[in-house]
Amino acid sequence: MRTSRVSRETARLVDALTPTASGGGSLRRSLRGLRHTDSSAENSTQRPSDSGSELSTPPSSPDSTASDFDAGASLGKRKRRAAATTSTTESKTTTPRRTPRKAPKLEEQDEGEKKFKKGRRQPAKHIKGPNGELQSEPPANWEKMYSITAEMRKRVLAPVDTMGCESLAEEQRSPLDRRLQTLIALMLSSQTKDTVTAVAMKNLQDNLPGGFNLAALLTVEPERLNELIGKVGFHNNKTKYIKQVAPILRDKFGGDIPDTIEGLTSLPGVGPKMAYLCMSAGWGRDEGIGVDVHVHRITNLWGWHKTSTPEQTRMELESWLPKEKWHDINHLLVGFGQTICLPVGRKCGECDLSGTGLCPSAVKSSPVKKKVKKMEVEVDNGEVKKEDIKIENDDVGIKVEADIEGEGKVELQSIAGAPLSGEDSKTS
């Protein structure tokens, strides 16, 4: 007589759970046999859900115990947990990994637009020579950067070109008086613009009794001297320094300025920058580089070195810069810093170094947009049509042009510094 698979497994479970005369040992052996039978059934062609569902059902026999059912239930839980782990592992292995998105290329530009490149810092290198002495290798491409900057300086006139301390001494004076005036101009220029320094020097030259010489500095009252130089920065301190320097020059240096760096820096109010510039302009000897805020700032922006003080910058530059350029680099970079590479709002769009990949601090700037509008303007020989008038308004100012019959394009008005108002819409 054939019986179903479910009936056979139910009978086997009842036999295993029925207590015998030998006690619990027979029950444990029967349970071990049941586990062996279940594992064999799992490896057969039967579905796992058939046997698992039967084992997880509570027994209906009144003679079964709770512990026996817990043993069968835990066995079913382990099978389900193993099956869940296997399915999770398979899902992890079959899930494709997402490929990272590529950043969009930024090099695509319109035709005719200048490709912007930003250089990288390549400072001077300090290496030990064959004798163990420290030698300096100059920064890469420094000569090219120097020559490009020199060409730019030829096209733009800076305040230092006409009002620098080296050009403020009176030419008709004796060499001794010119050297004195150069020293005083350098003392006044500290933290002061060249335009203000030039005005103060002119006041001294025009108002000191007997002219601008050592005797006049010795006799002038401090209050009067302070009044003449009152526009320069820290004029109270500078008045005190000048009155202290005058007797030192008379007593220790024979009425002239010192001809050594040690002598110049020993004077009150005279630092290394002033001393090196004074030696170059007054005595014609280049014994060091005069590093002011412009030279210190720009050479750090160029990546030639990384220094925190002008004195550190001077030592770095002197370690590799050819001596024939020690005098010119101050004038070159001061004018460059006054016109293009400003302390605030650098004009990288007007700098020839921008876009060449030489300057690591270059920033891309958008060109200034001009506002163009049309308006009616009355002239002496009749009224000009509205469509013939063009007004350009930019950061420099405004310019009004018109095409007048018989005369061609004529500039009617040009105002610098501010745009036209509505009341200025007519000129004659």
Residue 378 φ/ψ, nearest 5 degrees:
-95, 135
For all residues of the chain together, what is the average pLDDT? 74
The three-state secondary structure class of 397 is strand
Alpha helices (H) along 44-141: 48-55, 66-94
The residue type found at 81 is: R
**pTM for the predicted model, two decimal places:** 0.57
Read off the pLDDT band of 129 (50, 70, 90): low
How far is Cα 224 from Cα 236, in angstroms, rounded to an integer?
A: 11
Domains of the chain, residue spans = 1-59, 138-350, 371-424
Question: Which residues lie closer than 8 Å to 314 by C-beta, 6 or more apart?
Answer: 272, 273, 276, 288, 289, 291
Convert the pLDDT of each residue in 6-34 to its tens digit. Answer: 677 777 766 766 655 444 454 455 445 54
Instruction: For residues 269-288, give the mean pLDDT.
Output: 93
Read off the pLDDT band of 125 (50, 70, 90): low
How far is Cα 8 from Cα 393, in angstroms, rounded to an integer?
A: 102
User: What beta strand segments (E) does 192-332 contain?
Assistant: none
pLDDT at residue 84 above 50?
Answer: yes
Residue 369 φ/ψ, nearest 5 degrees:
-90, 135
Where do we find the tokens 């820096």? 265
Residue 136 φ/ψ, nearest 5 degrees:
-115, 135
- Which of 51-60, 223-232, 419-428 has the largest mean confidence? 223-232
Higher pLDDT, 245 or 412: 245
Contact 376, 389 (CB under 8 A): yes
Instruction: For residues 60-75, give the mean pLDDT.
Output: 48
pLDDT at residue 418, rounded to an integer: 42
Termini Cα distance of the chain: 129
Instruction: For residues 246-267, give the mean pLDDT.
Output: 96
Residue of 345, 358, 349, 364 lying closest to 109 (CA atoms): 364
Residue 150 φ/ψ, nearest 5 degrees:
-65, -40
Fold of 138-350: Endonuclease III; domain 1 (1.10.340)
pLDDT at residue 416, rounded to an integer: 44
pLDDT at residue 236 above 90?
Answer: yes
pLDDT at residue 388, rounded to an integer: 52
Question: Which residues lie closer than 8 Å to 329 by C-beta, 6 or more apart?
Answer: 146, 289, 295, 317, 321
The three-state secondary structure class of 134 is strand
Please list the active-site residues: 273
pLDDT at residue 386, rounded to an integer: 47
